[in-house]
Amino acid sequence: MPEPSAADWGDRYLQRLTPWDLGRAHPELVSRIESLGPPGRAVVPGAGYGHDARALADAGWRVTAIEFVPDLERDLGEAVGWAGDVVIGDALQWTPREPVDLVFDHTFFCAIPLRRRPEFGPWAESVLREGGTVASAVFPIGRSPRGGGPPFAMSAFDLADALGPRFDLVTETEARQPRGRSWPTRWAEFVRMPDSFVSPTGLRYLADAAATRSRPGRRWP
Protein backbone atom coordinates (compact mmCIF):
# COMPACT_ATOMS: atom_id res chain seq x y z
CA MET A 1 0.00 0.00 0.00
CA PRO A 2 1.50 3.40 -0.97
CA GLU A 3 2.33 5.89 1.77
CA PRO A 4 -0.33 8.62 2.18
CA SER A 5 0.68 11.95 0.66
CA ALA A 6 -0.23 15.42 1.93
CA ALA A 7 -3.04 15.40 -0.65
CA ASP A 8 -4.31 12.07 0.68
CA TRP A 9 -4.41 13.41 4.24
CA GLY A 10 -6.04 16.59 2.95
CA ASP A 11 -8.80 14.57 1.26
CA ARG A 12 -9.49 12.75 4.53
CA TYR A 13 -9.90 16.05 6.36
CA LEU A 14 -12.01 17.50 3.55
CA GLN A 15 -14.37 14.52 3.72
CA ARG A 16 -14.29 14.46 7.52
CA LEU A 17 -12.93 10.91 7.43
CA THR A 18 -10.75 11.54 10.48
CA PRO A 19 -11.43 8.85 13.10
CA TRP A 20 -8.18 9.77 14.87
CA ASP A 21 -9.59 13.23 15.65
CA LEU A 22 -11.23 13.35 19.09
CA GLY A 23 -12.79 16.77 18.61
CA ARG A 24 -10.96 17.91 21.73
CA ALA A 25 -7.57 17.61 23.40
CA HIS A 26 -6.58 14.15 24.61
CA PRO A 27 -7.94 13.85 28.18
CA GLU A 28 -4.65 12.49 29.50
CA LEU A 29 -2.80 15.55 28.21
CA VAL A 30 -5.36 17.82 29.85
CA SER A 31 -4.94 16.03 33.17
CA ARG A 32 -1.13 16.16 33.03
CA ILE A 33 -0.39 19.60 31.61
CA GLU A 34 0.60 21.08 34.96
CA SER A 35 2.93 18.14 35.69
CA LEU A 36 4.86 18.75 32.46
CA GLY A 37 6.70 21.59 34.16
CA PRO A 38 6.68 25.37 33.79
CA PRO A 39 5.28 26.40 30.39
CA GLY A 40 7.99 26.91 27.80
CA ARG A 41 8.34 26.10 24.11
CA ALA A 42 6.45 23.10 22.76
CA VAL A 43 6.09 21.46 19.38
CA VAL A 44 3.12 19.34 18.33
CA PRO A 45 3.88 17.37 15.14
CA GLY A 46 0.92 16.12 13.14
CA ALA A 47 -1.27 18.64 14.94
CA GLY A 48 -4.45 18.11 12.89
CA TYR A 49 -7.16 20.56 13.90
CA GLY A 50 -5.00 21.72 16.80
CA HIS A 51 -6.94 20.49 19.82
CA ASP A 52 -3.82 19.38 21.74
CA ALA A 53 -1.91 22.47 20.60
CA ARG A 54 -4.72 24.67 21.88
CA ALA A 55 -4.71 22.96 25.29
CA LEU A 56 -0.97 23.58 25.63
CA ALA A 57 -1.29 27.18 24.44
CA ASP A 58 -4.13 27.83 26.88
CA ALA A 59 -1.85 26.51 29.65
CA GLY A 60 0.80 29.10 28.73
CA TRP A 61 3.05 27.15 26.37
CA ARG A 62 4.43 28.80 23.22
CA VAL A 63 3.40 26.18 20.70
CA THR A 64 4.62 25.33 17.23
CA ALA A 65 1.99 23.21 15.48
CA ILE A 66 3.23 21.24 12.47
CA GLU A 67 0.90 19.70 9.91
CA PHE A 68 1.13 18.22 6.42
CA VAL A 69 -2.25 19.60 5.30
CA PRO A 70 -2.26 23.25 4.11
CA ASP A 71 -6.04 23.58 4.57
CA LEU A 72 -5.58 23.24 8.34
CA GLU A 73 -3.38 26.31 8.67
CA ARG A 74 -6.23 28.59 9.75
CA ASP A 75 -7.48 26.14 12.40
CA LEU A 76 -3.97 25.79 13.77
CA GLY A 77 -3.37 29.54 13.80
CA GLU A 78 -6.45 29.99 15.96
CA ALA A 79 -5.33 27.13 18.21
CA VAL A 80 -1.81 28.32 18.99
CA GLY A 81 -2.67 32.03 19.24
CA TRP A 82 -0.52 35.07 18.61
CA ALA A 83 2.45 33.68 20.57
CA GLY A 84 2.58 30.42 18.61
CA ASP A 85 3.68 29.31 15.16
CA VAL A 86 2.18 27.13 12.45
CA VAL A 87 4.38 25.14 10.09
CA ILE A 88 2.94 23.39 7.05
CA GLY A 89 5.24 20.59 5.94
CA ASP A 90 7.12 17.49 7.00
CA ALA A 91 7.59 17.63 10.77
CA LEU A 92 10.68 15.41 10.63
CA GLN A 93 12.39 18.03 8.47
CA TRP A 94 11.58 20.95 10.79
CA THR A 95 14.30 22.66 12.79
CA PRO A 96 13.49 25.25 15.49
CA ARG A 97 15.26 28.58 15.86
CA GLU A 98 16.12 27.48 19.40
CA PRO A 99 15.64 24.16 21.22
CA VAL A 100 12.19 23.45 22.62
CA ASP A 101 11.17 22.13 26.02
CA LEU A 102 8.48 19.66 24.97
CA VAL A 103 7.57 17.45 22.04
CA PHE A 104 4.01 16.18 22.34
CA ASP A 105 3.03 13.16 20.26
CA HIS A 106 -0.57 12.10 19.75
CA THR A 107 -1.32 10.08 16.58
CA PHE A 108 1.88 11.33 14.93
CA PHE A 109 4.35 8.56 15.66
CA CYS A 110 1.77 5.87 14.86
CA ALA A 111 1.19 7.48 11.44
CA ILE A 112 4.88 7.66 10.45
CA PRO A 113 5.68 5.11 7.73
CA LEU A 114 7.68 2.34 9.36
CA ARG A 115 10.68 2.95 7.13
CA ARG A 116 10.88 6.49 8.57
CA ARG A 117 10.48 5.67 12.25
CA PRO A 118 14.26 5.68 12.79
CA GLU A 119 14.20 9.40 11.86
CA PHE A 120 12.06 10.27 14.88
CA GLY A 121 14.80 9.87 17.49
CA PRO A 122 17.47 12.01 15.81
CA TRP A 123 14.82 14.63 15.06
CA ALA A 124 13.58 14.73 18.66
CA GLU A 125 17.14 14.88 19.95
CA SER A 126 17.92 17.78 17.61
CA VAL A 127 14.88 19.90 18.50
CA LEU A 128 14.79 19.33 22.29
CA ARG A 129 17.01 21.02 24.84
CA GLU A 130 18.83 18.81 27.32
CA GLY A 131 16.30 18.03 30.03
CA GLY A 132 13.40 18.51 27.61
CA THR A 133 10.59 15.98 27.38
CA VAL A 134 8.97 13.82 24.74
CA ALA A 135 5.46 13.12 26.02
CA SER A 136 3.29 10.69 24.11
CA ALA A 137 -0.26 9.39 24.17
CA VAL A 138 0.94 5.96 23.06
CA PHE A 139 -1.65 4.61 20.62
CA PRO A 140 -2.78 2.14 19.30
CA ILE A 141 -1.85 -0.31 22.05
CA GLY A 142 -2.59 -3.87 20.99
CA ARG A 143 -2.88 -3.37 17.25
CA SER A 144 -1.40 -6.25 15.28
CA PRO A 145 1.76 -5.35 13.35
CA ARG A 146 0.31 -7.43 10.54
CA GLY A 147 -2.59 -4.99 10.25
CA GLY A 148 -0.50 -2.39 8.48
CA GLY A 149 -1.42 1.25 8.88
CA PRO A 150 -1.70 4.03 9.54
CA PRO A 151 -2.19 3.77 12.40
CA PHE A 152 0.74 1.40 12.77
CA ALA A 153 1.17 -0.71 15.88
CA MET A 154 2.84 1.30 18.65
CA SER A 155 4.13 0.75 22.17
CA ALA A 156 6.46 2.49 24.59
CA PHE A 157 9.13 0.07 23.38
CA ASP A 158 8.69 1.34 19.82
CA LEU A 159 9.25 4.89 21.07
CA ALA A 160 12.27 3.85 23.16
CA ASP A 161 13.69 2.03 20.14
CA ALA A 162 13.27 5.08 17.91
CA LEU A 163 14.50 7.60 20.48
CA GLY A 164 17.62 5.69 21.44
CA PRO A 165 19.83 5.77 24.54
CA ARG A 166 19.96 9.58 24.90
CA PHE A 167 16.39 9.52 26.19
CA ASP A 168 15.46 8.23 29.64
CA LEU A 169 11.97 6.80 30.14
CA VAL A 170 10.60 8.42 33.31
CA THR A 171 6.89 7.63 33.01
CA GLU A 172 4.96 4.77 31.39
CA THR A 173 1.45 4.18 32.65
CA GLU A 174 -2.19 3.71 31.77
CA ALA A 175 -3.96 6.69 30.23
CA ARG A 176 -7.54 7.88 30.15
CA GLN A 177 -9.34 6.19 27.28
CA PRO A 178 -11.11 8.62 24.94
CA ARG A 179 -14.57 7.61 23.79
CA GLY A 180 -14.72 6.04 20.36
CA ARG A 181 -11.20 4.62 20.34
CA SER A 182 -10.93 0.93 19.45
CA TRP A 183 -7.54 0.43 21.14
CA PRO A 184 -6.23 1.48 24.55
CA THR A 185 -3.84 4.37 25.08
CA ARG A 186 -0.91 4.57 27.48
CA TRP A 187 1.09 7.59 28.56
CA ALA A 188 4.87 7.79 28.25
CA GLU A 189 7.41 10.50 29.00
CA PHE A 190 11.07 10.47 27.97
CA VAL A 191 13.64 13.04 29.07
CA ARG A 192 16.40 14.20 26.71
CA MET A 193 19.65 13.55 28.57
CA PRO A 194 23.15 14.97 28.01
CA ASP A 195 25.15 13.49 25.15
CA SER A 196 27.41 11.68 27.62
CA PHE A 197 24.44 9.84 29.14
CA VAL A 198 23.29 6.36 28.08
CA SER A 199 19.81 5.56 29.38
CA PRO A 200 19.63 2.30 31.35
CA THR A 201 15.87 2.42 30.85
CA GLY A 202 16.22 2.72 27.10
CA LEU A 203 18.75 -0.11 27.02
CA ARG A 204 16.41 -2.30 29.06
CA TYR A 205 13.65 -1.71 26.54
CA LEU A 206 16.00 -2.59 23.72
CA ALA A 207 17.12 -5.74 25.55
CA ASP A 208 13.47 -6.74 25.94
CA ALA A 209 12.74 -6.29 22.24
CA ALA A 210 12.26 -9.98 21.55
CA ALA A 211 9.67 -10.23 24.32
CA THR A 212 7.77 -7.07 23.35
CA ARG A 213 5.07 -7.62 20.76
CA SER A 214 1.78 -5.86 20.02
CA ARG A 215 -1.32 -7.93 20.58
CA PRO A 216 -3.97 -8.37 17.87
CA GLY A 217 -6.38 -5.46 17.66
CA ARG A 218 -8.86 -3.75 15.43
CA ARG A 219 -8.57 -1.09 12.75
CA TRP A 220 -9.76 2.43 13.18
CA PRO A 221 -13.46 2.39 12.35
Give the pLDDT confidence of 145-181 residue by residue, as tens digits.
777 668 888 899 999 999 998 999 999 998 888 777 7
Q: Which of 90, 158, 162, 152 is nearest to 125 (CA)?
A: 162
Does the bond joining 4 to the residue before it have cis omega, within 30 degrees of 0? Answer: no
Q: What is the pLDDT of residue 31?
A: 96
Give the phi and the psi of residue 135 in degrees, each rounded to 5: -110, 135
Query: What is residue 71's DSSP assignment?
Result: G
Q: What is the pLDDT of residue 137?
A: 95
Query: What is residue 202's DSSP assignment?
Result: H
Q: Which domains does the chain have, with CATH numbers?
A: 6-211 (3.40.50.150)
**Cα(59)–Cα(67) distance, rounded to whole angstroms?**
21
Tens place of pLDDT per residue across the chain (221 aa) = 567 766 766 677 777 766 677 889 999 999 999 999 999 999 999 999 999 999 999 999 999 999 998 889 999 999 999 889 999 999 999 999 999 999 999 999 999 999 999 999 999 999 999 999 999 999 888 777 777 668 888 899 999 999 998 999 999 998 888 777 778 899 999 999 987 766 665 555 444 543 443 433 333 33
Partners of residue 64 on adjacent β-strands: 43, 85
Cα of first residue to Cα of last residue in the chain, in angstroms, is 18
pTM for the whole structure: 0.86
Give the phi and the psi of residue 68 in degrees, each rounded to 5: -70, -35
R_g of the chain computed on alpha carbons: 16
What are the helix and strand counts (H, E) for the chain?
A: 7, 7
**Cα(57)–Cα(8) distance, rounded to whole angstroms?**
28
Q: What is the pLDDT of residue 129?
A: 97
